[in-house]
Structure 1
Amino acid sequence: MSVHLNHTIMPARDRDATAAFLVDLLGLEPAPEYGPFRVVELGNDVSIDVVQADGDLPSLHYAFLVSEDEFDQIWGRIKERGLTYWADPYHRREGQINTNDGGRGLYWSDPNGHNLEIITVPYGGGA
């Protein structure tokens, strides 16, 4: 049996705004409502199911593998919206991107403090 990730749940202080933020920056289709979730569909049959949550939220990490063109488009939207981005997961190299594993990558935060990442090459160089 081959095991595939189907979905993961992202807690948010504002479910609808968070789903709209992801859809906008990543260039995805609008997120439909399914029960308590806004379902952000990704291109590999995986979804991020955004759910309303109160109180303190854990800071989670979500990494997206994108093409070179998609990287440029997303990075452009991040810059257009004046969002801070970093080359590293610890947010020490502000305003830079990385070239790890022969690709490009960057990190930014969503409105809930989740650490988002785009990369053009999987960790380890895709080998």
Structure 2
Amino acid sequence: MTLPEVQLDHTVVHSTDRSASAHFLAGILGLEVGAPFGPFLPVDLANGVTLDFLQTSGPVREQHYAFLVRDEDFDAMIGRLEAAGVTYYADPNHRHPHEVNDLFGGRGAYFADPDGHNMEIMTVRYERP
């Protein structure tokens, strides 16, 4: 059976301040914030996926966003987290501060954005059985 080709094009990231959240994440990842598009403030990723930051008036439900990054960019991202005073963790439950994991032979870290979204940077894709 042939499966259809399906790719993620964009996703909405709810935030209490779309500008602050978009600029925070773009700054950590070394990306640019795009021009507003309707109610959205976009951050484009290298694989063509767009994160559309949307400002909401109510509470924001925390989500998880994982970013596959080049190994040569990882240390710079950790440096930007440290410079911004943002604690990073080796685990998704934030129990091991200022540590990096080595899952699947790569490196990874988790950190919270201004709205508490659990962001992850990793240098190797997770292997699934």
Please give the range of the TM-score, normalised by the shorter of the 2 chains: over 0.9
Q: Structure 1 segments of 4 or more deviating over 3 A?
A: none
Contact 1:102 1:121 in 2 (8 A): yes
Q: TM-score, normalised by structure 1?
A: 0.95
Q: Note the aligned Cα RMSD (angstroms).
A: 1.3
How many residues align structurally?
A: 126
Deviation, structure 1 residue 42: 0.3
Could you tell me the percent identity over the aligned residues? 46
Cα distance in 1 for residues equivalent to 2:56 and 2:118 = 17
| Structure-1 residue corresponding to 2:124 | 121
Q: TM-score, normalised by structure 2?
A: 0.94
Specify the SS of the correspondent of 1:10. Answer: strand
Cα distance in 2 for residues equivalent to 1:34 and 1:5 = 18
Deviation, structure 1 residue 30: 2.5
Which shifted more, 105-114 or 74-83?
A: 74-83
Unaligned runs of 5+ in 2: none
Unaligned runs of 5+ in 1: none
Correspondence 1:44-55 to 2 at 5 A: 44-55=47-58
Correspondence 1:3-82 to 2 at 5 A: 3-82=6-85
Cα distance in 1 for residues equivalent to 2:85 and 2:66 = 20
Cα distance in 2 for residues equivalent to 1:89 and 1:30 = 26
| Structure-2 residue corresponding to 1:102 | 105
Return the match for 1:83 from 83, 86, 111.
86
